[in-house]
Amino acid sequence: MTSTEPSSSVANDLSSEVSAIYLNKNESGEGSQASPESASALAPAPANNEEEKVDSASLSLMRKLTRTHLIQSKNEVEITRNDPKSPLHSVKSFEELRIPEELLKGIYEMGFQAPSKIQEHVLPVLLSNPPSNLIAQSQSGTGKTAAFLLASLCRVDERENYPQVLILSPTLELALQTGQVAKQMAKHKTSLTFRFVIRGVDLARNEKITEHVILGTPGKVMDAALRYRNFDTKKVKVFVLDEADVMIDTQGHRAQSLKIQRALSPNCQIMFFSATYDDNVMEFAEMIVSNPLVLRLKREEESLENIDQFFIECNNDFDKYRALANLFGTLTIGQVFIFCQTKKSAAWLANQLTKDGHSVGLITGDLTVEERTQIINRFREGVERVLIATNLMARGIDIEQVTVVINYDLPVDITTKDIDFETYLHRIGRTGRFGKAGLAFNMVDSPRALDMVKKLEQHYGRKIEKLDASDIEKLEELNKE
Ligand code: ADP
């Protein structure tokens, strides 16, 4: 599969793998204890809860399942090292790394041509000898997973039939997803074998794992390593902690990961990856990774340049809906994102627009990750032109072709009850890579909302122009831009 193929096929593969594992469990009839880490991501949020709760693991999974390509960064990688003697260089091509031919073939078939920004630095560090420990941080989508998979697969000696690489992910679904990528990468290295150690996979006491690479979640791997002794931790050459920031959000994962790490050989190479870099994550990193090189790629800042922003005054809900209908009627707009503050208003709007003949997707925290992924992919493929989402969902969505964003409700911070600047930027801002021009419309239905628009103008130093939604001429002008 290439990286440009629709990722829905990954979602399908993933779901068949999940069902296969559930099936496996049912057939065996052995009631393995479900680890707490695995329960969250597929379960829908409680239906009658007004404020949505979406956990970071399912947002991360959504991003992965809907992403089609690499996020390029213009920022430079910052490097901190404890040992100034440790080797440091970067590469501009995969050939320079002298990795096995079969793996090279695998990554080329995945559509990779050259290392991403973070990979340029991470790969030589991870492949150098003696192996160095690494803490790497860069935003999601910049190529971390591909980097640690490539580097760790290179370390396997396939003549030895025991686990040599141990990869921990925060949830079953994320472990499966990483496994899919690993298998794709190793497509031409058929002697490499993989084993999932996750909920639904039962291992008997003392049953020996013979596969080279274990992909698992902390609770299940801890049981397999320390309780049932399914593999020898001292023989593991590479230990990867992926999505460490999501990991520490889940109770118990920090302690379980530490226990696993303590059982490894002191020579085991440790690779620690995170999308964020706050104190909590770094504290955890320091507990788990000794003498590391720290590589950091700052996230691309979103900006409001290239975005024409408007506000439309509406007297009541009826007016608000009519203004929206006018926009739809006049603008020959491509893909549109509409944001609502609550699930209730999002559902109402979706229903209303559908009744009026528009094909609309609705995405809220009530849906399972798979359902959300399906909706995002349909939208991306153009099956639906309009996607309505609530605030929290916006965090898990990264859709580049959207050029029109409508804030049906302005984003409000739950605690201050005032405008939420960061969410506004996240909803309509673009990073340099998506340099395309965009249009943003804000529905203003109260003096309070108008005040928030003024605050946005001040805060970002950019004009938000008043628009009369019945001014056909003006709307047609926007069409041309
Ligand atoms: P992260 O782990 O940082 O979220 P991934 O490794 O999942 O990032 O990569 C994000 C996307 O970019 C994936 O679709 C992946 O296949 C693709 N990708 C990764 N590295 C490269 C590369 N060097 N060239 C092209 N695409 C890449």
| Distance between CA atoms of residues 292 and 299, nearest Å | 21
pLDDT for 209 beyond 60: yes
Per-residue pLDDT reduced to its tens digit, 302-312: 788 888 999 99
Cα of 136 vs centre of ligand 1, distance in Å, is 15
User: Looking at ligand 1, which atom is closest to the CA of residue 111?
Assistant: 25
Average pLDDT, the chain: 83
**What confidence tier does 81 reach under pLDDT thresholds 50, 70, 90?**
low
pLDDT reported for residue 300: 75
| Distance between CA atoms of residues 333 and 439, nearest Å | 10
Residue 476: what residue type? E
Q: What share of the chain has pLDDT > 90, as a percent? A: 53
Per the CB < 8 A criterion, the answer to whether 377 and 11 are in contact is yes
Nearest to 475 by CA among 356, 326, 309: 326
User: Looking at ligand 1, which atom is closest to the CA of residue 115?
Assistant: 23
**What confidence tier does 403 reach under pLDDT thresholds 50, 70, 90?**
confident
Per-residue pLDDT reduced to its tens digit, 152-208: 999 999 999 999 999 999 999 999 999 999 999 999 999 999 999 999 998 998 899
Per the CB < 8 A criterion, the answer to whether 404 and 335 are in contact is yes
Sign of CA dihedral 95, 118, 395, 401: negative
Cα of 264 vs centre of ligand 1, distance in Å, is 29
Cα of 182 vs centre of ligand 1, distance in Å, is 12
What is this structure's pTM? 0.79
Per the CB < 8 A criterion, the answer to whether 161 and 133 are in contact is no
Q: Tell whether omega for the bond before 100 is within 30 degrees of 0, i.e. cis.
A: no
Q: Whose CA is nearest to atom 22 of ligand 1?
A: 112
Q: Whose CA is nearest to atom 11 of ligand 1?
A: 70
pLDDT reported for residue 136: 95
In the block, residue with structure tokens 């980097």 = 147
The least confident of 173-177, 287-291, 393-397, 462-466 is 393-397
pLDDT reported for residue 481: 62
Per the CB < 8 A criterion, the answer to whether 370 and 45 are in contact is no
Cα of 66 vs centre of ligand 1, distance in Å, is 12
**What confidence tier does 15 reach under pLDDT thresholds 50, 70, 90?**
very low
Q: Whose CA is nearest to atom 17 of ligand 1?
A: 70
User: Looking at ligand 1, which atom is closest to the CA of residue 63?
Assistant: 4
| Distance between CA atoms of residues 379 and 361, nearest Å | 7
pLDDT reported for residue 385: 87
pLDDT reported for residue 398: 67
The residues that bridge with 274 in the sheet, in sequence order, are 137
| Protein residues whose CB sits closer than 6 Å to any atom of ligand 1 | 3, 67, 69-70, 110-112, 115-116, 119, 140-146
Per-residue pLDDT reduced to its tens digit, 239-285: 999 999 999 888 899 999 999 999 999 999 999 999 988 899 999 99
Cα of 140 vs centre of ligand 1, distance in Å, is 9
User: Looking at ligand 1, which atom is closest to the CA of residue 116?
Assistant: 23
Cα of 64 vs centre of ligand 1, distance in Å, is 10
Collapse the DSSP code of 347 into the 3-class scheme (helix H, G, I; strand E, B; otherwise coil) and give the result: helix
pLDDT reported for residue 24: 33
1, 2, 3, 77, best to mutate for ligand 1 pocket (most atoms within 8 Å of CB):
3
116, 242, 246, 296, best to mutate for ligand 1 pocket (most atoms within 8 Å of CB):
116
Q: Whose CA is nearest to atom 25 of ligand 1?
A: 112
